[in-house]
Structure 1
Amino acid sequence: MKLKITVDGNVYEVEVEVAEPETPRHSYVPPMGQARVSAAPSSAVAPPSAAAGHAPVADESKVCRSPLAGVVSKVAVQPGQSIQVNDVLIVLEAMKMETVITAPIAGKISKINAAEGDGVQQGQVLIEFE
């Protein structure tokens, strides 16, 4: 699997070997080459669980889920705002590394379920789209 990673403004293309069998991808995982990470990539993203705060949504293509557990360091959008693919939505911090979450689709922000300083879990719905 090839990933594009941005570190201190420099773009690197790295190839990663998948050690586990591939699981089905969900809409909250950005397509290859579209996720931007400001440091080394975190471990593989697991699909959302059905635990509290991770309830299934009627249309998964209309939500953005957290790819990892961390703390919201920046919310870059507001409800009602129009967005394009790859626009920055939220920046998460985990283990002193920032992960930039970008828009997987073009559309409009319907609801933001996390605020700056909030702790979030992997798979938690962060943003809902119209």
Structure 2
Amino acid sequence: MSYIDGFVLAIPKANRDAFIKHATTADAIFLEHGAIRVLECWQDDVPKGKTTDFYGAVKAKEDEAVCFAFVEWPDKDTRNSAMADLEKVMQTDPRMDPEKNPMPFDGARLIYGGFETVVNLESDHAK
């Protein structure tokens, strides 16, 4: 089954277009290194929680949107190999140069992790 890298981050709402441009540019690198797909999702229906929620996880401010993203890999070995390569790419690829493609969000409040897929159901409607 596939392997997923998941991300949750807070982005100033005024930076939506800059975020889309940044993500489109940077995410292409994941695909070039074996990712199956990358999804970047902008908050639409994200409720405030009573105990915890997405907003609290990234310390989102009132003028920020919560975004959820994931990179799907065919397996963990492909992901690990790509990540080793991506460390080098981050240093040399102009698409990752912060001067040319600055992060339009506070990277210190980004949360992420790698996840093993344990259930994968697909509808015929998805195809």
Q: TM-score, normalised by structure 2?
A: 0.28
More helix by share: 2
Rg larger in 1 or in 2?
2
| Higher relative contact order (CA closer than 8 Å, sequence separation 6+) | 2
More strand by share: 1
